[in-house]
Copies of this chain bind each other. A is one copy, B any other.
Amino acid sequence: MPVPLYQAKADFFRTLGHPVRIRVLELLRDGPRPVRELLNEIEVEASNLSQQLAVLRRTGLVSAVREGGTVVYSLATPDVVDLLAAARRILTDMITGQGELLAELQAEAAE
């Protein structure tokens, strides 16, 4: 580890820590899309979406190509899909855990 590799990792995860950015990545999982389409599916102002896309671009997670009047975005690497999948597994576990906790609480209340 040259110096702060964990800092780079933290920055990377922080990039994912925004609902709009997450949705963009999930939409791009199915293939490239123009901004206009992203805008249709995500309820957010155009300038805000642009800001978030800029963050994703800076990090290198997505790449943009201008095609005439529109700009088409796509995932920079397919590995993003694995990452999102791993995150979903953990979230599922966590929610399941909460479900178990809830069941425990209910059983307790029923005594």
Contacts and interface: CB of A to CB of B under 8 A. Distances in A.
Interface of A: 4, 6-19, 21-23, 26, 59-61, 76-77, 79-80, 82-91, 93-94, 97-98
Q: Which of A10, A61, A86, A90 has the most CB of B within 10 A?
A: A90
A98 to B, nearest CB: 8
Nearest to A21: B10
Question: How many copies, total?
Answer: 2
Given A7-B19, A19-B6, A87 B12 contact: yes
Given A10-B21, A77-B93, A83-B86, 9 more contacts: A4-B19, A6-B22, A9-B88, A10-B16, A10-B19, A13-B13, A17-B17, A60-B94, A80-B90
